[in-house]
Structures are given as structure tokens and as C-alpha cells.
Chain A
Amino acid sequence: MRTEPTRIVVVTAGVSNPSSTRVLADELAAATRRRLDAAGVAVAVEVIELRELAHALVDNLLTGFPNAPLKRAIEQVTGADGLIAVTPICTASYSALFKAFFDVLDAGAIVGLPVLIGATGGTERHSLALDHALRPLLSYLRALVVPTGVYAASTDFGARGGDTAGLARRIDRAAEEFATLVRNLPRTPVTDPYQDVVSFAELLPGRAG
């Protein structure tokens, strides 16, 4: 029996307030929570607004280390059981703010982490950016991205001629896949290179002893 709730961390790169990216992120989180609740899994959802870390992210790119709030955010993500990552599509790809966050993660930080990807844009013509941009980024980091990514354009949110039911269905399908993966893939703890020492005998075989 696990005693701690399953931790779902939401990373959202929307910059306006209210932000449609945040709205999509919240809906994905809520749908995930419903699935896990139904399965009897206790859930804690934590939301990281990258806008609040914008300066810290650029500073980290320049100095090589995160300030305290950014360090906390990184630890939230690397310690999560599942990640919901949502970005506005800017100039045919994820926003620079979104990418900056993944640029400052260590290469092995989210290996094996279940991830649900989502994106927003003014028009549905950018929807493949999910599969052409977000999915390869997370595959490189060896995260486990669920098959359904959710793209929401203005029409999905109820603009004239839009179809909100279609978005709701995609959210449900993605949340089902994500919740199933999270439930069945308990994460292995991240190793700490300053605690779990690679001994000198391994560094220079045949020499130490």
C-alpha cells in the first residue's frame, strides 16, 4: 500500500491571464484526477506556471544553475509520478519559455516519466506541432509520452462554428491513457550522484584497491 498520493505535476507555459493554455492544462489535470479517483488512487496535483520562472530560466541558461524557486520546480517535476506539459504553439513549435524549462533539466531527470502533452494555438493548422515538436523533445529525454496529445484551438473553446465536444473527447481519451500509465508505472527514485558514489575502482579499472 502506498501511503503518499500519486503526484501529478502540471507544467504550463501560457503567458496571458487567463490563459487558454492554463485552461487546457487544468482540464487535462481534472480529467486525469477523475480517472485516478475512480480507480481509488489518491492524487495530488501541483501546477507550475513557467511565466513566474521566466527570469530564473534565462538566468539558469546563462549561469548554469537554478535559483531557489526554479530548483523547487525542477525537483517537483523530477519527483513526479506523472507530468502534464502544455504550451502555446509559437512560430510552428513550443514556446521558448516551455523549451527553456526542459533545457535546464539534467539529461536523465525525467527518464521513464509518464507525460501527457498538450498545446494551444489560434488555429487548428498547428496541431501537428504536438507530434513534430513536443513528442521528439520528450522522447529525447526518454520520457514516456502517451499516444494522444491534446491540441486546442480557439474554435475548440467555443468560437463560432467550433465543436467543444471534440475537445472534451480528446481530453478524456488522453487522460485515460495517461492515468493508466501512471497507475501501472511506479517511478523508480532518482539516483543522487553525490550520495551514490561511482567508486574509483570503476573509474579506473585495474588500478584501485
Chain B
Amino acid sequence: MQFGIFSVGDVTPDPTTGREPTEHERIKAMVTIARKAEEVGLDVFATGEHHNPPFVPSSPTTMLGYIAARTERLILSTSTTLITTNDPVKIAEDFAMLQHLADGRVDLMMGRGNTGPVYPWFGQDIRQGIPLAVENYALLHRLWREDVVDWQGRFRTPLQGFTSTPRPLDGVPPFVWHGSIRSPEIAEQAAYYGDGFFANHIFWPTDHFRRLIDLYRRRYEHYGHGTAEQAIVGLGGQVFIRPNSQDAVREFRPYFDNAPVYGHGPSLEDFMAQTPLTVGSPQQVIDRTLTFREHFGDYQRQLFLTDHAGLPLKTVLEQLDLLGEQVIPVLRSEFAARRAAEVPAAPTHASLRAAKEAAMAVDPNELTDDTGELVTS
């Protein structure tokens, strides 16, 4: 099982001091947080993508490329990459390039984006969100798997004899997760391709996400990728940890009360009861996180939100220390002990390459369409 963090990349004033970081400070802080994630033994760092203030990460592969150069082991991902407003051709190119630079330590999560004004800035319309996500991803999927693509669709100029460069590292496209808060269509899309499904989880109640994940698992099996239990599921989570739970609640409350998205709404206690938010001791975070498996079945990736709502960098780094020292090691062994034997781990570049090579050894002809290069190597 993989553990990591995902960042929204918001620039929010610290409600306890009124101090607002500059964009430069926030961008550098995200890099520091990513490096710290590797240092404390986490597996994944994922950045959001936004094109409006108060968010900084408009250019994820630039940021992830830089982080790739400063880390050794960390998997670099997104949460999410906007499949609706980005040109799928540019996504194919950017992430293949990142994959080469990071020696395969790359995957990505597709999302639609729910900020209405962003769509027209990129020539699109939010009311076409689902059709855009479906068509654009169908093209992206081909661009990474076919060397020469002829293509025509509703939302983009046609392609004739187009080759997306560079080709994916080792002929293995980056693993793709599809992220969603509420759309059954996106769960269906993930199931159709046999891709991963990531449930944001943090903003809505568990029973809602159980229905969404159950749908994905059922349809993953329907499309013949494996059993429902073997489907590739990722979950969000949100934690604030102090050794003593009362201290955690006292310190986090002003950040919660003023947070973007849910601030000035439900009480911290209500929100903790209704969503996976856990503010408390390391043991409380461990106990709560283990309940996710009971709700959703064995899953492959757990990402925590730790750095939003104006929390100062120093506090976030302390959170990562607590996660790395006291929470994740316990979760790793507990999840491993509980996991059913036939449930796979999260796909990585190495595992996907090995699977491809194994498939080639069985039937090399099957792969000649895909990447002639691999067949001859």
C-alpha cells in the first residue's frame, strides 16, 4: 500500500496571525513539503492544478520535474490534472517528458475541475465537463499507446499522422487514476480502462463514497480487468496530529473554522463525524484510517491533505514528522496484515514494465501495434 500527501496549493492567510505567504514562499514550501515527504518515508506527493488565485500550482509538471531532481524515491503525481481544459496532446507530452526525467516515478490523476470560470479561459464550457473528460482521455490514452495517431473528435482540432513525443518511458504509459467526488460516469470511465479510481473522500460522507467505489469495483470486474476486490482504489484523508488530542483540536480549530471549502459551516466536531477528517493523536489517526478499509475494502493508495487553510510550513513539516514516525509505519504493517492475498499493490512503473515484458514473453505479436521498439529490445 502506498501512503502520501496531496496538496491543493492554496495561498491562504494564517488565521491565527493574519500572515499570508507570497506565491514564491508557497511554491517553495510545496517543494520543501514534497522533499520532507520522501525524508519521512512517504511514497507519494501529488499536487493539484489550478488556474486562479489563491492557488499557485498552474504548472504541475514544472513543479514535479523540479521535485524529481531533488528526490530519489518519491512517486510524483497530481490531484488532479484537468482533463477537461488541458489539451490532451499537451498532457501526453508533458507527462511523458516528466516520466523520463523522473525515471518512471510518475503517475497522474485525471479530474474535471469544478471551477466554472476556468473553462472559458481555455475555450471550454463546464456544462460539457463529462463529455470533455471522456473524449479527451480517450485521445490521451491512444497518444501514449499508439506511435502514430489519426484522430477526430468534438472538442479539439483533428490530428493526422501525429506522434506524441517523447514516447512513454520503456513504452509504458504513466499509470492513471481518475478522481471524482460525485460523478458515476468517472467511476465507469476508470473501470472501462482498468485504470485506478481515486475518491477524494475528504469533503463528503463515507456512505456516498462507498456507493461510488462500489460502482467502480463492480464495473472493473464487468470489463474483465480482474475481480471487484482487485480494482485499484485510492482514497483521500485529512489529518491534523499532535501527541495529545486536545492540543490537536485546539490548534487546528481556527484553521478549520476559516478554511476554504467548508469554513464558516459545520463545526469541527460535526465535520469529523461526517467526513474522514481526523484531528487528534497519532493513535486516533491510525484507528480512523484503518476504518477506511472496512468501509471500502482493501485499497492501494492513501493520500492525506496536510498543508492547506493557512497552516504554516513549520507546522506542516511537524505533521509530516508525526505521520512518518508514528502513523505510517503502523498503518503499513496493519494494512499489510489485513490485506487479502489476491489483492494487488498499486501499479508502479516497475510493475507495469514487468507486466508488459511478461506479456511479451508469452505473445510478442500482441504488442507489435503498441511499441515496435519494445518488441525488438
Contacts and interface: CB of A to CB of B under 8 A. Distances in A.
Task: Please tell me the size bucket of the interface on B.
Answer: 20 to 34
A203 B203 contact: no
A197 B262 contact: no
A208 B134 CA distance: 11
A67 B184 CA distance: 21
Contact of B188 (A63, A67, A195, A199): A199
Interface string B193-208: 0000000000111001
Interface in A150-208: 193-195, 197-200, 203-204, 207-208
Contact of A63 (B184, B189, B192, B265): B265
Contacts of B215: 194-195, 197
B219 A204 contact: no
Majority-rule SS of A interface residues:
loop
A204 B270 contact: no
Given A65-B208, A204-B135, A207-B138, A198 B266 contact: no
A107 to B, nearest CB: 13
A64 interface: yes
B265 A194 contact: no
Contacts, number: 58
A103 interface: no
Given A59-B266, A194-B214, A65 B189 contact: no
A63 B261 contact: yes
B250 interface: no
B211 interface: yes
Nearest to B193: A200
Nearest to B131: A203
Contacts of A195: 215
12 contacts: A58-B265, A59-B270, A62-B263, A64-B204, A65-B208, A65-B274, A194-B184, A194-B211, A194-B214, A200-B189, A203-B130, A204-B138
Interface of B: 130-131, 134-135, 138, 184-185, 188-189, 191-192, 203-205, 208, 211-212, 214-215, 219, 223, 261-266, 270-271, 274
